[in-house]
Amino acid sequence: MPLTSDFSALRTAVNALDPSGNTNITVGVQWGMEALSAAYPLQGANADKRTKRIMIVLTDGENTENRWDNSSNSGAIDDRTKLACSNAKAIKNEDGTVLELYTIRVIEGNDSLLKSCATDAGHYYSVTNANELSAVFQDIAERVKRLRIVS
């Protein structure tokens, strides 16, 4: 689903998801980069030059889905995730600043991988209970909407 402010349609799309039990953070990061682009395949990103790009990566597990060879070699998958995160963090805003990347680990997942994927330690969250997510997203929202003064 492209970026939208239609929360009803978004809830419907999320409720229609069918989890398979596997995790591939790399694919999520790549789709995040696509969603932040105004180009194909996910057109619809805000093209206003004043818009700052921000990505939030949330996972509840270790990398277990290797789309290339059907193995669960998490080391190889983690290497691709590191590369995808590096590429995402290199995305430039119109003003020359880079994309902000937040990562959230819910209960399980590779702590060091997610810390390195985030912009910095302050952009990483680890929660031990899904009920903590509201506070995490509230904190991120407050940080994102802060007025930023640049000289």
What is the CATH classification number for the domain harbouring 22?
3.40.50.410
Among 62, 115, 61, which Cα is nearest to 89's?
115
Q: How many domains does the chain contain in total?
A: 1
Q: Looking at residue 96, what is its pLDDT?
A: 86
- Residue 15 is part of which domain span? 7-145
Residue 27 lies in a domain: yes
Cα–Cα distance for residue pair 124/135, rounded to 1 Å: 13
User: Over 80: is that where the pLDDT of 12 sits?
Assistant: yes
Which residue is listed with tokens 């039990």? 21
In-domain check, residue 150: no
Compute the average pLDDT of residues 68-92: 85
Is 120 inside a domain boundary?
A: yes
Name the H helices within 1-151.
7-15, 25-35, 74-89, 111-117, 133-145
Radius of gyration of the chain (CA): 16
- Whether the model clears a pTM of 0.85, i.e. scores above it, the answer is no
In a domain, 69, yes or no: yes
pLDDT of residue 147: 58
Q: Which residues contact 81 (CB under 8 A, 6 or more apart)?
A: 25, 26, 29, 63, 113, 117
pLDDT score for 1: 72
Q: Which residue has the tokens 């932040």?
A: 36
Say what the pLDDT of residue 65 is.
Answer: 78
φ and ψ of 103, to 5 deg: -125, 145
Q: What is the mean pLDDT of the chain?
A: 86
Are the beta carbons of 69 and 10 closer than 8 angstroms? no
